[in-house]
Amino acid sequence: MRAVQRRDGFTLVELLIVIAIIGIIAAVAAPGLLRSRQSGNEASAIGSLRAISSAEAAYAASCGGGGYATTLAALALAPSGGIAFISLDLATANVAPGKSGYLVNVARGAGGANVLAAANTCNRAATASRTNFHATAVPITVGTTGQRSFATNQDGAVYQNRRGTAIGNANPIATNNNVSLLQ
């Protein structure tokens, strides 16, 4: 009598077909995942700018004598016996790796004037408080980490640039036709 051979397992052709199907599914899913990641990063950038806008309002009301901070470091510096106006992850978002694929920064607004000298602010910031500020969120790699850039100022409105380039601190809409108010 002959022994019966068992043939358990898969053939090479069957394994190659399964790998090809997995590859096709991955190729179809990858662009969707990239768009989802970009949307998440953009939502985080908008949230960061809104947090900065709120922090600036609190700074102006309690620390800056009615003036705004012009750096993230000034907002991250806690007043005596208090807490910082922004979180540590946002305070360091102006240098790589940024925050959620974006570099977030605060600067002096166009025009404007000093309100309080740095030594007179409640947290003794390194810069004077000013009548205005300009905060931006720019994707680290346009098309990969985000598609749009964003900005806000003392008015509290959030602006977007669909090309992903930085938004200037003068009147954003009047100076650049690629910039619009975020709805």
Could you list the beta-strand ranges (E) of 3-148.
102-108, 114-116, 129-130, 133-139
CA distance 183 to 175: 19
- Residue 173: per-residue pLDDT: 66
- Residue 80: per-residue pLDDT: 86
- Tokens read off for 67: 């003036």
Question: Does the predicted model carry a pTM greater than 0.85?
Answer: no
- Residue 55: per-residue pLDDT: 96
